Chain A
Amino acid sequence: MTDFSTWDIVRNLLMAARWTVLLSVFALVCGGVVGVAVLLMRSSRRRSLRTVAICYIEVFQGTPLLMQLFLLFFGLSLTGVEVSPWTAAGAALTLFTSAYLAEIWRGCVDAIPRGQWEASSSLGLSYVEQMRYVILPQALRIAIAPTVGFSVQVVKATAVTSIIGFVELSKAGAMISNATFAPFTVYGLVGLMYFCMCYPLSLYAKKLERTMNVSR
């Protein structure tokens, strides 16, 4: 039996942590893009579009991420498409992130005074133009703090993808723990690494929140 030094464990965990970071960034970027689309539907003037967006948000916020992952992973392969854990993880996290971001950003859009909508429509701007030039630039300012706060949730959510076999930090932790028989050290280190990723984000979100409150 080979011996594992603490450094071996740390090094391997760090290698796997790169995938956690990559998956988080991917989910935030793609989720953000889809989230804007859902947001536009959610605050659109057409009722049918609003209903679709509400259902989308309700379904993804009302079911466990693990179930969404399983459905994508097992469901898509039934249709004959070969699904790798990476595809399923990326797709599920994108959907999950977009539903939450759409809801968070809607709060920010709603916080913009009605007068801004009325003034811009009296200037003859279309819905898309109103959003693009008047509402979103203002909403963006208040959206930064809660978005950074939510990114912590996304980093933590990536841990669930280990269950379908995506080798990121948690999965690597489980594998190393099985090989070294040192679960206390390994899971302690895994937790510490997540903490090192999330805590700065949490602090930054808190700081943004504070400066935002002062400036208003």
Chain B
Amino acid sequence: MAYTFDFSSLWEYRAFFLQGVLGTLVLTVIGTVLGVAVGILGAVARAWQLPVLAQLYAGYVELIRNTPFLVQLFFVFFGLPSLGFRLDAWEAAALAMILNLGAYSTEIIRAGIEAVPNGHLEAAAALAMSRFQIFRHVVLRQALLKIWPALSSQIVIVMLGSSVCSQISAEELTFGANFIQSRNFRAFEVYLLATALYFLLAVALRQSLAWFGRRVVGGGRP
């Protein structure tokens, strides 16, 4: 029995696909913004060896980087409620993504901070800049510029990894695809389209991050 492909039947589900793409995007933006914030804090703690915080972050980074995202997600969604910490699917997915990207970006940004030459810090101190000013204008900007490509690819990896969030029924692209597939039984067509959408999302995300890096992090300079 030969199988005939039928992509036209997907058209009536376009709203679900669109909703899925939006869900994945929202999840990615939340995960990126807060995850990088967690990462910057961790990078500072680790690079400047702040007591307690540096050790805590070291443990956190190793723990997250050496366990699968799926298990982190299940732990947050199924495990934490027994500690009285109850989250809905959407919140659990966002939290897991923040925790995951936070650990990776800590390591990436730390490498950038440590690559800033000591002379720059001394020069800034000689100009009577405060500690915060030095960090904000001299250290962080240079560090982020240097590691931006690495951070961008990690963000894309996290976005692609978010497809796993469908397993706790967070409503993103894979969840949408599963839902449509359970209705029209056209599994191959549905997943092929979803895969193509992920691919486009990854390309678009990479481009926007490159643009953001040039414009905002790099301050528009060539």
Contact = CB atoms under 8 A, between A and B. Distances in A.
Interface in A45-87: 59, 62-68, 70-71, 74-75, 78-80
B69 A173 contact: no
Nearest to B202: A62
B123 interface: no
B1 interface: yes
A174 B74 contact: yes
Interface of B: 1, 3, 62-63, 65-72, 74-75, 78-83, 156, 160-164, 166-167, 174, 177, 187-188, 191-192, 194-195, 198-199, 202-203
A63 B199 contact: yes
A67 B71 contact: no
17 contacts: A63-B198, A64-B198, A67-B163, A67-B198, A68-B195, A71-B188, A158-B68, A159-B71, A173-B74, A177-B74, A183-B75, A184-B75, A184-B80, A190-B74, A195-B62, A195-B66, A198-B65
Q: How large is the interface on A (under 10, 10 to 19, 20 to 34, 35 or more residues)?
A: 35 or more
Interface of A: 59, 62-68, 70-71, 74-75, 78-80, 152, 155-160, 162-163, 170, 173-174, 177, 182-184, 186-188, 190-191, 194-195, 198-199, 202
Contact of A187 (B62, B79, B199): B79
Max count, chain A CB within 10 A of own CB: residue among B70, B80, B162, B203: B70
Contacts of A191: 63, 67, 71-72, 75
A202 B66 CA distance: 8
A75 B195 CA distance: 13
A156 B3 contact: no
Given A66-B174, A198-B65, 14 more contacts: A62-B202, A64-B163, A64-B164, A70-B191, A170-B71, A173-B74, A182-B82, A183-B78, A183-B79, A187-B74, A187-B75, A187-B79, A191-B63, A191-B67
Given A64-B160, A67-B163, A191-B75, A170 B70 contact: yes
A188 B75 contact: yes
A198 B67 contact: yes
A199 B62 contact: yes
B66 A194 contact: yes
Contacts of B187: 70, 74-75
